[in-house]
Amino acid sequence: MRPAVLNPLFAPLRSLSGIGPKMAPLYDKLLAPQSAEARIIDLLFHLPNGAVDRRVKSKIADSVPGELGTFEVRVVAHKAGPPGRAKSPYRVLVEDDTGDITLTWFNVGRVRMEAMLPIGEIRYVSGVIELWDGHRQMVHPERVLDAAGLARQPAFEPTYGLTAGLYPRALVKASEAALQKLPDLAEWIDPALIAREKWPRFTDAIRTLHRPASLADVAPLSLHRVRLAYDELLAGQLALLLMRARMKREMGATRLGDGHLVKAMLAALPFTLTDGQEQALSDIKRDLASPERMLRLLQGDVGSGKTVVALMAMTMAVEAGWQSALMAPTEILARQHYERLKPLADQAGITIALLTGRDKGAARAQTLAGLADGTISIAIGTHALFQETVSFHRLGLAVIDEQHRFGVHQRLALSKKGEAVDVLVMTATPIPRTLVLTYFGDMDVSIIREKPAGRKPIETRTIALERLDEVANGLERVLTSGQRAYWICPIVEESEDLDLAAAQERFESLQKLYESKVGLVHGQMKGPDKDAAMADFVAGRTSILVATTVVEVGVDVPEATIMIIEHAERFGLSQLHQLRGRVGRGAERSNCILLFGNVGEVGRARLETMRSTNDGFEIAEQDLRLRGEGDILGTRQSGMPGFRLSVPEKHGELLVIARDDAKNLLARDPHLESERGIAARTLLYLFERDEAIRLIRAG
């Protein structure tokens, strides 16, 4: 249960005085777009993005036009517009001993203005001065205060990210109220680390950020910010390590055979393994042989040959007397894997079967029976493989292909399908190191860096959409030379129907040029139709395949040498790289054409990156910089925990420290029972990683 000391922080924000039924929904929208109702903690974790200096620093004559300033002035004169014309401005002339400013308001009443700015009095006005006809003017000053008001106002006022209808001042006030609820919490960070880094306490850090005493306090790398980022990262690392400890604890089996099937399988392969593949396999072999459970992430760029590594790993498990399963993210990929692996498995004498959501009736029943009685050794499928109704005789290894959206929960769910199943996750996109630690910190990592020899580089060009017809006509060449082309249609925000319409339209326009040589595949097609369209393309009955992003991952057609992506600016970098990876798999030179529409700065940077490099790791790092982690990992869709206080690309070094700190703490206190351990539990609750606490059990 959550420690009672935290309860005030998890109370709804609307319980604060000053946040009424009108404003509450705005806060919900700003702070808790997914979970409906914002809580006090959400506001406290909504850190300022900067601060405004409200001190009186200069005389009017020294003011810089366009910059915000606060001035001490004497009120000289009022000048209202002609009566009855509400739209005309109300002006007040103010001065100091160096110059004057005209303050201007629209839609205000004389009575209120005269009360606020009595002639002859001293006032403090804050706002941006602009030059108008050579004269200083301030339109709608942000603040007009008397001396007492100025004394009450903080010298530095935090500024926050906002949403329409919420005003900066409201947020400042609300965060003040929220700070009142902040309890003092026992320290969970290693005291030596605190001393070395000179970090403030958690509560001090939060308080200072919302009530900064200088502009430096709110800077991204201020001690206060860094401390909070560290807290969040530490919570994440603790959660992952607890999870890892739990999964490892469940182990018993060593899975190692005599090598005869592995030998047969190697003989069946039409090529020899690359060094990277060999290395990954020896990592996996070691994991399988050890009594500890395998939790391994296999990273490799598109086309680096991860599938074969999966096949060999599954063969090892089968040889040791266990079943293996390979899960692909889509039906098309599952089918493709099956079709490629079946002949090899047949040669090696291993039974292999396909199971997807589409298999029904007698065939499905037969496959289920085979999995349950163990006559099927390798199962290939979609997530249907791990549904309730499927039971395995003796599942020993699960391989998850091309899957970022495979979160901690799914990893746990897998354990239910067998006795401490060994797990190998293969990622389609190389993941920057910091993100690996953040999201896969519970796993060991193997990386395949090189691609099989003899691959030709892919040449990438960016072309304006206006020249689409030219590009379409240019495909003539492809048809005559027996090569294939993909034509990827743009994704339209939030509407599969619109996606489809765009693909349909492109299909029809290309058909006018190339008739029956054009195929179409999209996400809403019925399974068998999809298969047929893919099969036509693989066999060369069609040469141009118009597709939505269903071909994004994994599909392998060596004859395909051209990848055209329409509205490339709408895709993420990693996604573009994945798509491009569909070509350049054969001996021929390949081309990728990125057709772009209106591009902003980020879009341009993305396209430029694609043009300049083929290195997936470099692209992933760029993607992280340009778009943020959520898009790379698909965390937004998957409900993986997001990060609010830390930014992987800024706080990467902290992550490594957090990792070690978490490791040391758990080594000394695996059940989090010491004084610091109990504080660490509070930390896990604070960052809502408390599911990890349930994983702590004696044993």
Which of residues 443 and 686 has its CB atom nearest to ligand ADP in the complex?
Answer: 443
Which residue, 546, 560, 429, 419, is CA-closest to 488?
A: 546
Query: CB of residue 380 vs Mg ion: minimum separation in angstroms?
Result: 12
Give the binding range for ligand ADP (CB under 6 A) out of 295-303, 350-358, 504-512, 594-602.
295-303
Work out the burial of residue 91: count CB atoms within 10 Å of its CB; fewer than 13 is exposed, 13-18 middle, 19 or more buried: middle
Structure letter (DSSP) for residue 66: T
> Which of Mg ion, ligand ADP, none binds 303 (CB below 5-8 Å, type-dependent)?
ligand ADP
Which of residues 9 and 332 has its CB atom nearest to ligand ADP in the complex?
Answer: 332
C-alpha 432 chain-centroid distance = 12
Give the binding range for ligand ADP (CB under 6 A) out of 25-33, 76-84, 304-312, 488-496.
304-312
Give the binding range for ligand ADP (CB under 6 A) out of 46-54, 59-67, 297-305, 491-499.
297-305
Query: Does residue 689 belong to the site contacting ligand ADP (CB under 6 A)?
Result: no
Under 8 Å between Cβ of 53 and 156: yes
Query: CB of residue 159 vs Mg ion: minimum separation in angstroms?
Result: 46
Structure letter (DSSP) for residue 65: T
Query: Does residue 305 belong to the site contacting ligand ADP (CB under 6 A)?
Result: yes
The single residue among 146, 536, 556, 631 that binds ligand ADP, judged by CB under 6 A, is 556
Give the binding range for ligand ADP (CB under 6 A) out of 170-178, 269-277, 537-545, 592-600.
269-277
In angstroms, the CA 441 to CA 236 distance is 9
Query: Does residue 302 belong to the site contacting ligand ADP (CB under 6 A)?
Result: yes
Under 8 Å between Cβ of 350 and 377: yes
Under 8 Å between Cβ of 211 and 179: yes
Phi-psi bin for 584: left (phi > 0), alpha (psi -120 to 50), beta? left
Strands 156-159 and 378-381: unpaired
**Residue ranges in 551-634 assigned as alpha helix (H):** 573-580, 601-612, 616-627, 629-633
Query: CB of residue 597 vs Mg ion: minimum separation in angstroms?
Result: 30
Query: Does residue 306 belong to the site contacting ligand ADP (CB under 6 A)?
Result: yes
| Cβ neighbours for 508, distance < 8 A, ≥ 6 positions apart | none
Which of residues 400 and 665 has its CB atom nearest to ligand ADP in the complex?
Answer: 400
Query: Does residue 276 belong to the site contacting ligand ADP (CB under 6 A)?
Result: no
Q: Which residues, numbered 486-525, are part of the site for ligand ADP (CB under 6 A)?
A: none
> Which of Mg ion, ligand ADP, none binds 308 (CB below 5-8 Å, type-dependent)?
ligand ADP
Query: Does residue 308 belong to the site contacting ligand ADP (CB under 6 A)?
Result: yes
> Which of Mg ion, ligand ADP, none binds 407 (CB below 5-8 Å, type-dependent)?
none
# chain residues binding ligand ADP, by CB under 6 A: 16
Query: CB of residue 426 vs ligand ADP: minimum separation in angstroms?
Result: 7
Query: CB of residue 413 vs Mg ion: minimum separation in angstroms?
Result: 23
Q: Which residues, numbered 419-458, are part of the site for ligand ADP (CB under 6 A)?
A: 452
Which residue, 208, 210, 213, is CA-closest to 178?
A: 210
51 to each of 26, 156, 214, 695, how far by Cα in Å?
22, 6, 8, 41
The single residue among 274, 356, 429, 575 that binds ligand ADP, judged by CB under 6 A, is 274
Query: CB of residue 446 vs Mg ion: minimum separation in angstroms?
Result: 15
Query: Does residue 582 belong to the site contacting ligand ADP (CB under 6 A)?
Result: no
Our CA dihedral for 492, 497, 501, 502, rounded to 10 degrees, sits at 10
In angstroms, the CA 685 to CA 272 distance is 50
Under 8 Å between Cβ of 401 and 310: yes
Query: Does residue 273 belong to the site contacting ligand ADP (CB under 6 A)?
Result: yes
Strands 323-327 and 122-128: unpaired
Query: Does residue 168 belong to the site contacting ligand ADP (CB under 6 A)?
Result: no
Which residues are 237's β-sheet partners? Answer: none
Query: CB of residue 501 vs ligand ADP: minimum separation in angstroms?
Result: 31
> Which of ligand ADP, Mg ion, none binds 305 (CB below 5-8 Å, type-dependent)?
ligand ADP
Give the residue nearest to Mg ion (CB): 554
The residue behind tokens 């005599």 is: 258
The residue behind tokens 């539990």 is: 681
> Which of ligand ADP, Mg ion, none binds 106 (CB below 5-8 Å, type-dependent)?
none
DSSP 232-300: HHHHHHHHHHHHHHHHHHT--------SHHHHHHHHHSSSPPPHHHHHHHHHHHHHHHSSSPPEEEEEE
Q: Which residues, numbered 326-355, are part of the site for ligand ADP (CB under 6 A)?
A: none
The single residue among 106, 271, 387, 589 that binds ligand ADP, judged by CB under 6 A, is 271
Which of residues 54 and 306 has its CB atom nearest to Mg ion in the complex?
Answer: 306
In angstroms, the CA 143 to CA 479 distance is 70
> Which of Mg ion, ligand ADP, none binds 595 (CB below 5-8 Å, type-dependent)?
none
Q: In the structure encoding, which two tokens stand for residue 448, read together?
A: 């395949």
Q: In the structure encoding, which two tokens stand for residue 657, read together?
A: 């420290």
Give the residue nearest to ligand ADP (CB): 305
Query: Does residue 300 belong to the site contacting ligand ADP (CB under 6 A)?
Result: yes
In angstroms, the CA 376 to CA 391 distance is 12
Q: In the structure encoding, which two tokens stand for residue 91, read together?
A: 């002006």
Which of residues 13 and 400 has its CB atom nearest to Mg ion in the complex?
Answer: 400
Which of residues 447 and 658 has its CB atom nearest to ligand ADP in the complex?
Answer: 447
Query: Does residue 585 belong to the site contacting ligand ADP (CB under 6 A)?
Result: yes
Phi-psi bin for 618: left (phi > 0), alpha (psi -120 to 50), beta? alpha
Under 8 Å between Cβ of 529 and 552: no
Which of residues 125 and 332 has its CB atom nearest to Mg ion in the complex?
Answer: 332
Q: What are phi and psi of 297, to 5 degrees?
A: -105, 125
Give the binding range for ligand ADP (CB under 6 A) out of 303-311, 347-355, 383-391, 498-506.
303-311
Query: CB of residue 272 vs ligand ADP: minimum separation in angstroms?
Result: 6
Interface mask toward ligand ADP for 353-392; x: CB under 6 A = ----------------------------------------
Interface mask toward ligand ADP for 451-480; x: CB under 6 A = -x----------------------------
Query: CB of residue 452 vs ligand ADP: minimum separation in angstroms?
Result: 3
Q: What are phi and psi of 321, to 5 degrees?
A: 100, 20
Under 8 Å between Cβ of 438 and 633: no
Q: What are phi and psi of 247, to 5 degrees?
A: -70, -35
Query: Does residue 651 belong to the site contacting ligand ADP (CB under 6 A)?
Result: no
Under 8 Å between Cβ of 240 and 437: no
**Terminus-to-terminus CA distance in the chain, angstroms?**
21
CA angle centred on 478, ends 474 and 483, rounded to 5°: 155
Query: CB of residue 219 vs ligand ADP: minimum separation in angstroms?
Result: 42
Give the binding range for ligand ADP (CB under 6 A) out of 302-310, 477-485, 505-513, 595-603.
302-310
Query: CB of residue 155 vs ligand ADP: minimum separation in angstroms?
Result: 57
> Which of ligand ADP, Mg ion, none binds 46 (CB below 5-8 Å, type-dependent)?
none
Q: Which residues bind Mg ion (CB under 5 A)?
A: 307, 554
Q: In the structure encoding, which two tokens stand for residue 574, read together?
A: 């990693």
Query: CB of residue 282 vs ligand ADP: minimum separation in angstroms?
Result: 15
In angstroms, the CA 539 to CA 533 distance is 10
Which of residues 143 and 340 has its CB atom nearest to Mg ion in the complex?
Answer: 340
User: Where on the chain is the footprint of ligand ADP (CB under 6 A)?
Assistant: 271, 273-274, 277, 300, 302-308, 452, 554, 556, 585
